[in-house]
Structures are given as C-alpha cells and as structure tokens.
C-alpha cells in the first residue's frame, strides 16, 4: 500500500511540475602540440619526495638558495632551467622556468 501511494505521489508531481531545463556551456580546448614545460619528459629535475642531500648529489649545487620561510619551512633552490621547492628537506615541487619571451 505504501509503495502505491509513493508511486501516485511521484506521478502527480511529475505531471504537475514544470519541465526541467538543462543547460551547459561547451568548453573548447586547443590541442597541445608540444609537451608542457613541467612535463616529466622535458627537463630532468628532482622528483617529489627526494631529500636535499640527494638533490645536491644528483643535480649539483643550486645557483641560488633562498632561506626557508613560513611554517612548515619552505625553501627554494634555483637551478639554470628549473626551481626546486622543499618542505623541510623534502622536495615538494620542481618547476621548469618558462622560456624568455613567453
């Protein structure tokens, strides 16, 4: 009996309700014709999770080293083609520098 009354209520609501209008925007994305600057197949750089001492051993001394800021401490090392960001002594991100003129 309860199932029948629920079915009737749904039928009445569907018959008396205004029709729903669905709208959507279309997003067109241009095809990427070259690898983005931070693509792993591009410039070799330290991966996330690597330690500072491992970065120095594998990639050498950075050109500049910014002091740690914030809590937790975030440190930035700059190399010729990329920058490395550390939380404490662990790599968070390695970001390839944009080519000049972009």
DSSP per position, 10-22: HHHHHHHSPPP--
Distance CA 75, CA 57 (A): 18
Which pLDDT tens digits describe the chain residue by residue (102 residues)?
A: 444 454 555 555 555 555 556 566 766 666 555 656 666 667 889 999 999 999 999 999 999 999 999 999 999 999 999 999 999 999 999 998 887 655
Give the residue extent of every domain in the chain. 45-102
Q: What is the DSSP letter of 47?
A: P
- Non-local (6+) Cβ contacts of 45 within 8 A are 59, 79, 81, 82, 84, 94, 96
pLDDT of residue 1: 45
Q: What does the pLDDT read at residue 5? A: 52
Please say whether the beta carbons of 11 and 18 come within 8 A.
Answer: no
| Tokens coding 2 | 């309860």
């Amino acid at each position: 009996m309860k199932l029948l009354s629920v079915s009737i209520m749904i039928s009445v609501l569907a018959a008396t309700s205004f029709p729903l209008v669905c709208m959507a925007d279309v997003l067109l994305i241009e095809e990427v014709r070259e690898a983005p600057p931070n693509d792993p197949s591009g410039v070799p750089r330290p991966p996330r999770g690597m330690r500072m001492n491992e970065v120095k051993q594998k990639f050498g001394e950075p050109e500049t080293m910014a002091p740690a800021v914030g809590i937790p401490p975030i440190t930035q090392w700059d190399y010729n083609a990329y920058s490395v960001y550390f939380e404490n002594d662990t790599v968070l991100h390695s970001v390839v520098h944009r080519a000049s003129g972009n």
